[in-house]
Amino acid sequence: MHTEREMQMSTTSASIGTAALTPGFDRWLIPPAALAVHLSIGQLYAFSVFNEPLTRAIGISAPAPGDWGLTDLGWIFSLAIVTLGLTAAFAGKWLERVGPRRALLTAAACFGGGFVLSAIGVHTHQIALVYLGYGVIGGFGLGLGYVTPVTVLIKWFPDRRGLAAGLAIMGFGGGAMIGAPLAVALIGTFKSDVSVGVAETFLVMGLVYALAIVAGALAIRLPAPGWKPAGWTAPAERVQHSDVAPREALGTKQFWLLWLVLCLNVAAGIGVLGQASMLIQEVFDRRVSPEAAAGFVGLLSLFNMAGRLGWSAVSDRIGRRRTYFLLLALGAALYAFAPFAGPIGGVALFVGCFALIISMFGGGFAAYPAYVADLFGTRHFATLYGRLLTAWATAGVLGPVLINYLREYQIGRGVAPADAYNVTLLILAGVLALGFVCNGLIRPIGNASRDA
Amino acid sequence: MKQLTQLRLKATWVGWVGVSLPLAWGIYQTTLKAMALFH
């Protein structure tokens, strides 16, 4: 017979999805639930597939007067990224209060609903509706969908935080691999003499993704407070540190150093990722065809994903700080070597170099949640991780601006396009070296000498 | 209780298969695209 308190706990458990009173629950259901969400919202990085057909939404076969330009369309993705970042930064407290299930159901409604509103915007040719739909409402769903599963995984897998969070974040990369060909296939199915097929594609994808996120939301739940895997004891250094409250964390140097580590690692990688096709064509003086360059981009995506899983798993074995030392030092060395890779070993060595660099870019993302949890605990993880993700948003703007500005400056000074990236790559090596120094200055909170 | 646990284990398997299939498809599509680099 349940006492009144147990009934209250059961109600609370049902509403916020805790496993306090559900013995026999298999925590290995959480990673696929998290992946269902991240594979859906990862579609964000494949959004550019819609840009070209949207430039002829009126003209159908070619752009016509009144059709949107690429500059107008570029704002959709930018708005989504900014809203994602702001949501992740400020919704943490709300997420901790309402629990992961409600947060993810909200994410499903927003991400799916954003697609639907955007479909209306495309159909009625009102770009403001697309901005509001995918950019803002969808962006809100993206932010909730990004942080929530990672928060839950960190709590269920204290014994392998890196791998657990890395699985979800790998899913975000994988989401683009699904989203791009899916969009191309749907556009091909729906296009006609009177439609470029995008509005219909938005409707289908909105429904599919909303259902996938709902499936993840229903399977996800939090462990009971203080839960730990059977037979596992927390390492001594983790037992000493209590959870750090957000206000206190903001006053620590560790918070800001961690922010810089993410910002610098992402800035170095994201600029290259965005320019990869042009980079390989220009460095090899157009001897690499556009099709091969697209293949290069595809290869980088695969290594990005592999790096997210691989490096986060490595961090469970050797520790976060050592992992970041490796990522940042090796990354800096590879960037410094990259200008010579082509002349020494041709396309193969150049490609190998960048494949490794991008694997470390992904690894830096994926091992990050575990690093945050190791330093600040898990109680306020959603809030703190969300706030630290502003580094990602900042780098998302700074990285491409840096790369493009440096390239144009070089070409403006008469440097051949094939050589214009050399100085840029050396500067990126310096950016990662700075990240290396920042990582070196991070110490566990309240303990000056231990290595994390 | 045993039936519930077995049901949950089945749900775990279904979950893993459910996410692995679209992910494998996406990786396959991307690998096909990446092959253009070697031709």
Q: Do A29 and B31 touch (CB under 8 A)?
A: no
Residue with tokens 């059977």: A230
Three-state secondary-structure class, residue A245: coil
Whether A11 has a pLDDT exceeding 60, the answer reads: no
Q: What is the mean pLDDT of residues B16-30?
A: 93
Rounded to an integer, what distance in angstroms lies between the CA atom of residue A231 and that of residue A233?
7
Identity at A262, one-letter amino acid code: L
Report residue A16's pLDDT band, with 50, 70 and 90 as the boundaries. very low
Rounded to an integer, what distance in angstroms lies between the CA atom of residue A293 and that of residue A280?
6
Taking CB atoms and an 8 Å cut-off, how many pairs form between chains A and B?
A: 84
Inter-CA distances, A431 with A274, A336, A345, Å: 17, 11, 25
Report residue A367's pLDDT band, with 50, 70 and 90 as the boundaries. very high
Q: What is the mean pLDDT of residues A383-400?
A: 88
Rounded to an integer, what distance in angstroms lies between the CA atom of residue A99 and that of residue A429?
41
pLDDT single digits (tens) A404-429: 788 888 888 888 877 778 888 888 99
Rounded to an integer, what distance in angstroms lies between the CA atom of residue A240 and that of residue A288?
55
- The pLDDT assigned to A127 comes to 96
Return the domain boundaries, chain A. Answer: 25-219, 240-440
Residues A383/A389/A390/A396 CA torsion (nearest 10 deg): -160
- The pLDDT assigned to A3 comes to 40
Rounded to an integer, what distance in angstroms lies between the CA atom of residue A376 and that of residue A248?
10
Whether B18 has a pLDDT exceeding 90, the answer reads: yes
Count CB-CB contacts under 10 A for residue A342. 19
Q: What is the mean pLDDT of residues A310-336?
A: 95
**A6-10, A134-138, A383-387, B15-19: range with lowest mean pLDDT:** A6-10
Whether A398 has a pLDDT exceeding 90, the answer reads: no
Identity at B5, one-letter amino acid code: T
Interface of B with A in 1-39 (CB under 8 A): 1, 4-5, 8-9, 11-12, 15-16, 18-19, 22-23, 25-27, 29-31, 33-39
pLDDT single digits (tens) A146-183: 999 999 999 999 999 999 999 999 999 889 899 999 99
The secondary structure of A126-186 as a DSSP string is -HHHHIIIIIIIHHHHHHHHHHHHHHHHHHH-TTSHHHHHHHHHHHHHHHHHHHHHHHHHH
Three-state secondary-structure class, residue A388: helix
Interface-testing mutation among B3, B12, B13, B21, with chain A (most A C-beta atoms within 10 A): B12
Which pTM does this prediction carry?
0.86
Rounded to an integer, what distance in angstroms lies between the CA atom of residue A141 and that of residue A384?
19
- The pLDDT assigned to A371 comes to 95
Residues of A in contact with B16 (CB under 8 A): 28, 31-32
Give the domain A240-440 fold: Growth Hormone; Chain: A; (1.20.1250)
Instruction: State the smallest CA–CA distance between residue A113 and chain B in angstroms.
Output: 22
- The pLDDT assigned to A242 comes to 66
Whether A313 has a pLDDT exceeding 80, the answer reads: yes
Report residue A1's pLDDT band, with 50, 70 and 90 as the boundaries. very low
User: Do residues A381 and A373 lie in contact, with contact meaning Cβ atoms separated by under 8 Å?
Assistant: yes
Which residue did the predictor score with more confidence, A134 or A424? A134
* pLDDT mean across residues, chain A: 87
Whether B7 has a pLDDT exceeding 90, the answer reads: no
Which residue did the predictor score with more confidence, B9 or A175? A175
Whether A7 has a pLDDT exceeding 50, the answer reads: no
**A374-383, A417-426, A433-442: range with lowest mean pLDDT:** A417-426
The secondary structure of A255-291 as a DSSP string is HHHHHHHHHHHHHHHHHHHHHHHHHHHHHTTT-S-HH
Report residue A24's pLDDT band, with 50, 70 and 90 as the boundaries. low
Whether A12 has a pLDDT exceeding 80, the answer reads: no
- The pLDDT assigned to A23 comes to 64
Which residue did the predictor score with more confidence, A236 or A313? A313
Whether A141 has a pLDDT exceeding 90, the answer reads: yes
Rounded to an integer, what distance in angstroms lies between the CA atom of residue A66 and that of residue A47?
22
Which of A368, A359, A355 lies closest to A164, judged by CA? A368
Whether A450 has a pLDDT exceeding 70, the answer reads: no
* A245 class by beta-carbon count within 10 Å (0-12 exposed, 13-18 middle, 19+ buried): middle
Count CB-CB contacts under 10 A for residue A252. 17
Identity at A376, one-letter amino acid code: F
Q: What is the mean pLDDT of residues A282-309?
A: 87
Phi-psi region of A288 (alpha: psi -120 to 50; beta: other; left: phi over 0): beta
Q: What is the mean pLDDT of residues A179-190?
A: 94
Q: N- to C-terminal Cα distance for chain A?
A: 46
Instruction: State the smallest CA–CA distance between residue A347 and chain B in angstroms.
Output: 9
- The pLDDT assigned to B8 comes to 77
- The pLDDT assigned to A9 comes to 40
Q: What is the mean pLDDT of residues A277-290?
A: 82
Count CB-CB contacts under 10 A for residue A71. 7
* A361 class by beta-carbon count within 10 Å (0-12 exposed, 13-18 middle, 19+ buried): buried
Nearest Cα residue in chain B from A299: B34
Which residue did the predictor score with more confidence, A19 or A321? A321
Percent of all residues in chain A with a pLDDT value above 70, rounded to a whole number: 92
**Torsion A231-A234-A235-A236 (CA) sign:** negative
Q: What is the mean pLDDT of residues A37-60?
A: 93
In terms of DSSP H, where are the helices of A289-389?
A: 290-318, 320-366, 368-376, 381-388
Q: Do A292 and B25 touch (CB under 8 A)?
A: no
Q: Do domains A25-219 and A240-440 have the same CATH topology?
A: yes
User: Do residues A46 and B33 lie in contact, with contact meaning Cβ atoms separated by under 8 Å?
Assistant: no
In terms of DSSP H, where are the helices of chain B?
A: 2-34
Q: What is the mean pLDDT of residues A353-376?
A: 93
ipTM of the complex: 0.89
Q: Do B30 and A301 touch (CB under 8 A)?
A: yes
Interface-testing mutation among A21, A22, A30, A35, with chain B (most B C-beta atoms within 10 A): A35
Nearest Cα residue in chain B from A36: B19
Helix axes of A381-388 and A368-376: crossing angle, nearest 10 degrees:
130
Count CB-CB contacts under 10 A for residue A62. 9
Highest mean pLDDT among A170-174, A202-206, A270-274: A202-206
Inter-CA distances, A246 with A89, A97, A220, A372, B37, Å: 12, 15, 25, 12, 47
Which of A142, A190, A151, A153 lies closest to A46, judged by CA? A142
Give the domain A25-219 fold: Growth Hormone; Chain: A; (1.20.1250)
Report residue B27's pLDDT band, with 50, 70 and 90 as the boundaries. very high
Whether A120 has a pLDDT exceeding 50, the answer reads: yes
